[in-house]
Structure 1
Amino acid sequence: IIIFYGIDFRNILHIKKAFKQLNGLEFIHILECLIFNSNFIQQIIDLDKPLKLISLFIMNENDQRSLFMSDEDRNLQIESMQLLFQKSGEYLENIGIDSYVNDVLKCRALEFINNYCERIKFFDIHMSNIQKVHIVLDSVKIFGQNLNYFSIGVFIHHEKNESIIEMLLKLAQVLPCKLEYLELYFTGTPIVKNVWEVFLKRYTETQLSTYSNYSSHKKGMTDEFKEFESYNIKVKGYYNLHIKAYEFIDEMY
């Protein structure tokens, strides 16, 4: 097993040779590494043997090259990402996408995840607006009963309660019947109590062990937390229970 964590692969040119020498290598985890503005993916794709990439947590490459990337370079970036999912999608079990990843790249990544990945157990995703959440729900539906840990963050900016209710109802419909961990991370407009009640009524048939919540308006949510606990769901604060990718991988693998 190899775990790459926080590595900038843009300055590493011969990773392919290293992989070829590791004959007994079974599983690879890539956590919060800079890989898309480098030739790392192409070297991985060029490997003769299958690459058992189990975990891929994509972080924001917030530098001058990514901020001012041409359409042609962005398309090449997306094409290389698609090839990576084609090669390793059948092995992937854990996927995360950082909140600041470029929206175009994020949406295309979700498309590729939906097309090539069916074994996802751990899914961590942050969306910049509620209108794009539907593609995340498609992913959850595809993962089905394999999914055991799900974290979604959404920036809710002056959204109507009807839109939030619609999102939560759709979420309740696609969540697997057994889920070990659910994290909802909302920032922006506060979510009122009746919205949570609608979600819980639809969600009562699901066996959820632990629920983690973060809200920028958390202080006024005591009643909502009691409502969750009435369904035998443990409610924990975000910073008390948030699962970090590297800790999860280290413990599970």
Structure 2
Amino acid sequence: MVLYFPSSLYDIDRSLIEKYLTQIIISQHNLKKISFEHSTTLYDPFLLLKNSNCSNTLNTIIFYHIDFKNIVNILQEAFDQLNVLESIHLIYCHSLNSDFVQQIIKVNKPFKLRSLFMNEILHIESLQLLLEKFSDCLENFGFESKEDKNNEPKRQLFKLIMKYCTKIRYFDSGIPDDNNIYLFIENNQNNINYLTIEFDIYDDYCCTPNYVEYSSTVLQNLGQVLPPKLEYLNLSLLFNTSDLEYF
């Protein structure tokens, strides 16, 4: 059985939702996968996982836009009680700071971090510890940010990804503002199956003449390093026909 809790639920009375969410988790005897999304009432339901009937069945947890600030102090405690947990997926979550990383890397039960999608970099040193621990199992990675030519933390992050992560299958580069991105794609040609490169259409940068020129550069660079095993390509760019022919 799979449980999914969308953000629309939390428009209702939060205490009522938390009450029934808790009851649902307690009642499950064969829960294998659970997905939390945009939850601000996650503390009690998440803590319940360690004492619920699903502690011997739950193998996958997906966190989507979750702020770990309110549950960081119970992460290790809860994860250590999940006896068959195989993987977790972190998709654009918040408060991925040093406290969060320390809790995750101290979990005694073995599990794999399969997905890491980020839109903020809080502590590059902590992220390095996270990547060192899960480098052999991370398969899905992405980073989104506004156009920023001086985004040094993002550059450092890609250097770490290039160093530690060699099994990436799904790669979302966001704005490819660093040549290391193309080098990373080239070095992982035998692994990458899914590739996304896109600008935020609401970004003011997309309304400037430089946007077309930059898109052209992306196509020229990307055309030289596309993985032969690629199954899916998502490009959100503005370019001339000749650029596409070259690509």
TM-score normalised according to structure 1 size: 0.64
Distance in structure 2 (CA, Å) of the matches to 1:132 and 1:212:
25
Query: In structure 2, what is the equivalent of residue 27 of structure 1?
Result: 32
Query: In structure 1, what is the equivalent of residue 171 of structure 2?
Result: 182
Deviation at 1:191, TM superposition (A): 1.3
Q: Residue type matched to 1:237 in 2?
A: N
Structure 2 CA distance for partners of 1:19 and 1:26, relative to 1, 3 Å = same
Distance in structure 2 (CA, Å) of the matches to 1:123 and 1:185:
16
Query: In structure 1, what is the equivalent of residue 215 of structure 2?
Result: 219
Structure 1 counterpart of 2:163, from 150, 173, 179:
173
1:13 aligned to 2:3?
Answer: no
Q: Unaligned regions of 5+ residues in structure 2, if any?
A: 201-210, 237-247
Q: CA RMSD in A?
A: 3.8
Give per-residue Cα distances to partners, 1:86-139, cap 9 Å, x unaligned.
Answer: 33386141312425x2x3x6543333333327532631321424x634433433
Deviation at 1:226, TM superposition (A): 1.0
Tell me, what secondary structure is at the counterpart of 1:42? helix
Task: Give the conservation status (yes or no) of the 8 Å contact 2:142–2:171.
Answer: yes
Give per-residue Cα distances to partners, 1:163-218, cap 9 Å, x unaligned.
Answer: 65544332111112x432222224xxx615x44455456x2575323322234556
Bigger radius of gyration, 1 or 2?
2
Task: Give the conservation status (yes or no) of the 8 Å contact 1:56–1:92.
Answer: no
TM-score normalised according to structure 2 size: 0.65
Dislocated runs of 4+, deviation >6 Å: none
Deviation at 1:59, TM superposition (A): 2.2
Structure 1 counterpart of 2:116, from 118, 121, 124:
124
Q: How many residues align?
A: 215
The structure richer in strand per residue is 1
Tell me, what secondary structure is at the counterpart of 2:111? coil
Structure 2 CA distance for partners of 1:146 and 1:168, relative to 1, 3 Å = closer
Distance in structure 2 (CA, Å) of the matches to 1:134 and 1:89:
30
Distance in structure 1 (CA, Å) of the matches to 2:91 and 2:99:
12
Q: Unaligned regions of 5+ residues in structure 1, if any?
A: 67-73, 240-253
Structure 2 CA distance for partners of 1:150 and 1:3, relative to 1, 3 Å = same
Query: In structure 1, what is the equivalent of residue 46 of structure 2?
Result: 41
Task: Give the conservation status (yes or no) of the 8 Å contact 1:4–1:33.
Answer: no
Distance in structure 2 (CA, Å) of the matches to 1:96 and 1:14:
25
Give per-residue Cα distances to partners, 1:50-71, cap 9 Å, x unaligned.
Answer: 262512214256xxxx9xxxxx
Task: Give the conservation status (yes or no) of the 8 Å contact 1:140–1:175.
Answer: yes
